[in-house]
Amino acid sequence: MSVAKTHQTDQRRRLLLKGLAGLGLGVAPISAWANSGLQRVRMSVDGQTTRLVFDMEGPADYKVFALESPDRVVVDLSGTRALASLEVPSNPRSLVEGVRYAERNGNDLRVVLDLRAAADQHSFVLLPAQGSPHRLVLDLTERPRSVMVARMVPETNSVVRPDQMREPLRDLIVAIDPGHGGHDPGAIGAGGTREKDVVLQIARRVAERVEREPGMRPVLIRTGDYFLPLRERISRARAAQADVFLSIHADAIQDRRVQGSSVYILSDRGASSEAARFLAQRENSADLRLGGVPIESKDDSLTSVLLDLAQSGSLEASHSLANRLISEMHRVGKVRKPEVERANFAVLRSPDVPSVLIEAAFISNPSEERKLRTESFQNSLADAILTGLRAYFATHAPPGTIIAEGRRDRHIIRPGETLSVIADRYRMSVAELRAVNDLPSDRIFAGQVLQIPSRGS
């Protein structure tokens, strides 16, 4: 397996640079040091699928896209450096022929996988579990020759399911969006707590729970402390084919006595209260002030009508999701208003993804500010959100999903999955998983159905 490193001065390096120039690298400023490290890349092959697992020191934002002639897949990891030379064993059955990598912008890492044939990719992130670190998993499946494909398929943090047709059932995708980030701190409490920090912590706890939930899979829209325009948040959720979108925030108001959490959905005509209107203005304005693209673009009237129609369908679903979440959040702490509130939040404007905005307590209230920082409150809130999601999906899971078919105790093996990846996901040991399923060995195959014992909840 050929591996080139940037500091080598042989022909390989020139090839590498030439290769990268061909990928359209722009000139970018040298930014702060990397904050995550790529420890190694592991590869396994199962039938048509080659799986690469990127073991990461910490979370990192990433992009995956494919290029043709020659066929390549590019993985960009932001704020990441290579901690060791990245090598994968040579395997003639693998779709990956070679791995090259180079630092970009003084801060980011670009990994280029040279392919033997055009491949569809499917990527997702796994949180640390049972001694395994943060992982980015990339499955490459050989693309049937007859299929017409776009010349270039860029995607951002997305889960593409090219094999959906062959997959009998799928997971529900839960997009979790921690508000604000980077130079936009959100609201700041009297004790100095920043909204962007606590909402990221809460979002991660929700993602961990969703990851462990059979039939659900999380997509964390913001994984670190950086700014994302609202439109980008929506497009990441849509690229991931999210079934629901949860934006997580903490509320703030002049009157420090006000407390309690609330759940909002997009208003189709005006805000449900004056307070809701002000809040939406505040949450939306950060984006405009900080260089985001305004969410309203000049759609022609036909497009707008179609969007309106799609949106009213997802509004009903959003309302139902918000209701389930409020009922569960009652158990955790004070809920400011028992009913779902409506306001014109730009981040909720996905025409086809049911979307809610959770204001998890008031950061402007000193006692709630303290609470927001505690692990116990964050955990109970994340538990409540998961329970709310379960209740919502019990009636709203789309056909073709594991949950809609009432198979929450099942896991259908995807191409490239290994027993240890599946065991990780459900917080079990491989031995336990094998015992439950009477598996004589670690050999499994795509499409095989495993029993996942229920853990209660």
- 181 touching Zn ion, by CB under 5 A: no
Cα distance between residue 387 and residue 393, in whole Å? 10
Residue 245 to residue 311: CA distance in whole angstroms: 14
Q: Does 189 bind Zn ion (CB under 5 A)?
A: no
Q: Under the criterion CB under 5 A, does residue 178 sit at the interface with Zn ion?
A: no
217 makes contact with Zn ion (CB under 5 A) = no
By CB under 5 A, name the one of 79, 186, 218, 416 that touches Zn ion: 186
Angle, to 10 degrees, between the axis of helix 195-212 and the axis of helix 375-396? 50
Extract the tokens encoding 40.
């190694």
Nearer to Zn ion, 38 or 335 (CB): 335
Q: What are phi and psi of 61, to 5 degrees?
A: -75, 145
Does residue 218 interact with Zn ion by CB under 5 A? Answer: no
Minimum Å gap between C-beta 222 and Zn ion is: 12
CB 154 within 8 A of CB 62: no
Amino acid at 316: E
Distance CA 152, CA 389 (A): 35
State which of positions 247-286 bind Zn ion (CB under 5 A).
249, 283
Out of 37, 178, 179, 388, the only residue in the binding site for Zn ion (CB under 5 A) is 179
- Cα 69 from Cα 93, distance rounded (Å): 20
The letter for the amino acid at 384 is: A
C-beta of 184: minimal distance to Zn ion in Å? 9
Q: Which is nearer to Zn ion, 115 or 187 (CB)?
A: 187
The closest of 79, 76, 101, 89 to 7, measured between CA atoms, is: 101
Residue closer to Zn ion (CB basis): 110 or 249:
249
| Total of residues contacting Zn ion (CB under 5 A) | 4
**Shortest Cβ contact with Zn ion: which residue?**
249
Stretch of 50-58, 140-148, 186-194, 426-434 contacting Zn ion, by CB under 5 A: 186-194
Please report whether residue 415 would count as binding Zn ion according to CB under 5 A.
Answer: no
Contact call for residue 229 and Zn ion (CB under 5 A):
no
- According to the binding rule CB under 5 A, does residue 292 interact with Zn ion? no
* Residue span binding Zn ion (CB under 5 A) among the ranges 1-9, 66-74, 172-180, 300-308: 172-180
Cβ–Cβ < 8 Å for 168, 412: yes
Rounded Cα–Cα distance for residues 329 and 384 (Å): 6
Per rule CB under 5 A, is residue 196 in the interface with Zn ion? no
- Judged by DSSP in three states, 15 sits in helix
Interface ranges with Zn ion (CB under 5 A) = 179, 186, 249, 283
